[in-house]
Amino acid sequence: MNPIRTIRRLTCILTGLAAALAAGVAVAPAALAATPVNPPAPPADVIRFGPAAHAFNGVTGDMTSWQIALIAVAAAIVGAVVAVLADRARAARSHRPATIA
């Protein structure tokens, strides 16, 4: 095997791993983001008897960390699919048969 081809493949693999690591580092703060729920001062009945129900995503309006991680994974998969389709289209375009003039 040609040594230049080996170096090129190794470079491509390392570049892909570095890009995946950079994407993971960029998404990690968003995936781990969570805001504490601080409701306004409750009325005296709630203080005496305890809260009627816990706060959930529908009330607070925030996205939970698993939703953010799911969006990031879906975006990565869609990006990979688009890259593969673009590469196949480029490869199919470059192998045109010669025509007789």
**One pLDDT digit (tens) per residue for the chain, 101 residues:** 678 888 888 888 899 899 888 888 888 777 677 666 666 665 555 555 555 555 555 555 667 778 888 888 999 999 999 999 888 888 877 766 667 76
- Cβ(37)–Cβ(74) below 8 Å: no
Whether pTM exceeds 0.75: no
Q: Which of these, 59, 63, 62, 43, lies nearest to 51 by C-alpha position?
A: 43
Q: Which of these, 30, 38, 23, 37, lies nearest to 65 by C-alpha position?
A: 30
Q: What is the phi/psi pair of residue 23, to 5°? A: -65, -40
How close are the terminal C-alpha atoms of the chain, in Å?
37
User: Which sequence spans correspond to the domains of the chain?
Assistant: 1-30, 61-94
